[in-house]
Amino acid sequence: MLAPSQSEEVIRLEKVVKIYRVGEVITYGLRGVTLSVRKGELISIMGPSGSGKSTLLNMIGLLDRPTKGRILIDGVDVSKLNDKKLAYIRNRKIGFVFQQFNLINRLTVLENIELPLIARGIPRAKRIPIAIKALLAAGGDKSWLKKRPNQLSGGQQQRVAIARAIVGSPEIILADEPTGNLDRASAKTVMETFLKLNEQGQTIIIVTHDPEIANCTRKIYLLRDGVIIRVVDPDPEKCIISTVR
């Protein structure tokens, strides 16, 4: 069910610390996290609320900078890059999927999926076939293309969000609670989509509170108080695809 992991390291965090300061109050988001993700891996990050899961994903996705430590993407230390270079890497190398979908209801499904390509300056005539291919790869249907996101079900919207994440052929997909707002059947469909993408060699990191989602991945990293406390082998029998009929 899972794609074989490749040897090439695409993400490395070295003793990453994130501190938030509000006046004189200091809060630790991460406390020295070291993590290595190789090409083609499918991993999950679990932990209680406030454990640092989203903070860790934001660090990997270059949406925030570490207070201390290094983050390397394809061997490049991105911790020292300026905002323009970080934005370039995000657009080329990373696709994001969020719990709230983050789709724009005044745009059609097609226009939502095209957005990362617009940022690259790709002409519309070339964008359209790429966007359609991404939607089909994400388990979507061409009949959705002219609809607005709010005309679709939650599971369908999440597949559109996945299509937008993969349309630019990023090396890495980061998913933050991607099934949190979905019923079990829709969550199963979305997880099947991630597994299919992983089988094609896509590197995927999923933050989740749901053991049935985490057990579909290759490794489960348990986070508590901003620290990875252990790595757990998943139980495929407890994967949502095995438990939802």
pLDDT at 2: 45
Residue 172 CB neighbour total at 10 angstroms: 23
Evaluated on CA atoms 56, 97, 2, 220, the torsion sign reads: positive
Which has the minimum average pLDDT: 3-12, 54-63, 165-174, 222-231? 3-12
Task: Please give the Cα distance from 141 to 137 (Å, whole number).
Answer: 10
Which has the minimum average pLDDT: 55-59, 80-84, 158-162, 237-241? 80-84
* pLDDT confidence bin for 79, thresholds 50/70/90: confident
- 1 part of a folded domain: no
Task: Please give the Cα distance from 169 to 167 (Å, whole number).
Answer: 6
- 11 part of a folded domain: no
- 20 part of a folded domain: no
The pTM score is 0.91
pLDDT at 117: 94
- Angle separating helix axes 109-119 and 154-166, nearest 10 degrees: 20
Q: Amino acid identity of 209?
A: H
- 71 part of a folded domain: no
CATH code (residue 120): 3.40.50.300
- 29 part of a folded domain: no
**What's the Cα-to-Cα distance from 31 to each of 16, 46, 48, 52, 133, rounded to whole Å?**
7, 16, 16, 9, 41
Q: How many domains does the chain have?
A: 1
Domain that holds residue 110: 38-65+80-243
- Whether the predicted pLDDT of 167 surpasses 90: yes
pLDDT at 244: 54
- 161 part of a folded domain: yes
- Whether the predicted pLDDT of 4 surpasses 50: no
**Coil, helix or strand for 136?**
helix
- 22 part of a folded domain: no
- 24 part of a folded domain: no
pLDDT at 194: 94
Residues 234, 217 contacting (CB under 8 angstroms): yes
Q: Which region, left, alpha or beta, applies to residue 101 given φ > 0 means left and ψ of -120 to 50 means alpha?
A: left
Rounded CA Rg of the chain: 18
Quote the longest CA-to-CA distance of the chain: 54
Share of the chain above pLDDT 90, in %: 87
